[in-house]
Amino acid sequence: MRLFVAGLRKLVRRPASYVSVGLLAGLLSLILIAVGATAKQTAERPNGAAALLLVTFPQAYTLILSFILGLGGLIAVIYGAAVAGSEWNWGTLKAAVARGESRSRYALLTFASVALLIGVGLVLAFLVGTLMAVVGASLAGISTSGLSNSDALGRLPDQFGRSWIAVVEEGALGFTVATLARSQLAGIGAGIALYFGEQFASIFLPDIVKYLPFNAATAVVENAGTGGGGIIQRLEPGLALWVVLAWLFGSLFVAALFTERADISG
């Protein structure tokens, strides 16, 4: 618990924690306001009605989470890599080990603090997104009566839990890559390459890519992915959750094992 609390105190003082949430919430707000402000033109375009669902409740709840799972996943990769890489670049891991801390325990508790802050960021981004969706609906002249839809609100806790696990898994990948590279920049670069590489691979290996970490993460919430009309046939949400958990625990196992055996004397 001591290491976990220390990790939280360290991360809440880092600008990256605020920049990551601010970037996600800002981009989400811009999109929702733009959709609402250009509702008339949007409705006349192909698939325009689908775009307006972003500011139409209760569908907006799931679509906001979909956006968070998409862009938020990439931001989580970068954030996880930045945190893990700093442990090597700034020598904090070496100092902790010199104090007698367990290497693997230190690494895992550091990531636990990352996971908690990801959850806080998810809630904040969703709240901002919901508020901006209400503003967008007002600009578009769309009723917000669905805002209090009991069925949609009843599904939110489950959707939030699934979304948090999915984004944490993506953060764990960045964390592990940076741990293996022992560098912030290398970890961030490799994490971004893995993210976009997976999207590119969908052209050639659609049946395999759906089991890869980023695509599985977007499928954990029902109807939050691109649906069956895209190149990739999404996994069923229940199976996707198990795949995400496998990637999450597998990534953390690799990170802990590498940290335990790595040479940190330099």
pLDDT of amino acid 124 = 94
Residue 198 lies in a domain: yes
Residue 111 lies in a domain: yes
Secondary structure (3-state) at 68: helix
Whole-Å CA distances, 59 to 145, 157, 223, 246: 12, 15, 10, 30
Number of domains in the chain: 1
Q: What is the pLDDT along the chain (266 residues), one digit of tens a residue?
A: 777 888 788 888 888 889 999 999 999 999 889 888 887 665 556 555 667 888 889 888 988 988 888 888 899 999 999 999 888 877 788 888 888 888 889 889 999 999 999 999 999 999 999 999 999 888 888 888 888 888 989 989 999 999 999 999 999 999 999 999 888 888 888 888 888 888 788 777 778 888 999 889 988 886 654 443 444 567 888 999 999 999 999 999 999 999 988 877 65
Q: Tell me the three-class secondary structure of 174-187, residue by residue.
A: HHHHHHHHCCHHHH
Q: Which domain holds residue 196?
A: 2-144+151-261
pLDDT of amino acid 47 = 55
**pTM across the whole model:** 0.88
CA distance 148 to 151: 9
CA distance 198 to 59: 28
Name the one residue in this structure whose structure tokens are 């659609």: 206
Closest alpha carbon to 61 in 166, 157, 170: 157
Residue 266 lies in a domain: no
Cβ atoms of residues 255 and 261 within 8 Å: no
Name the one residue in this structure whose structure tokens are 């764990």: 172
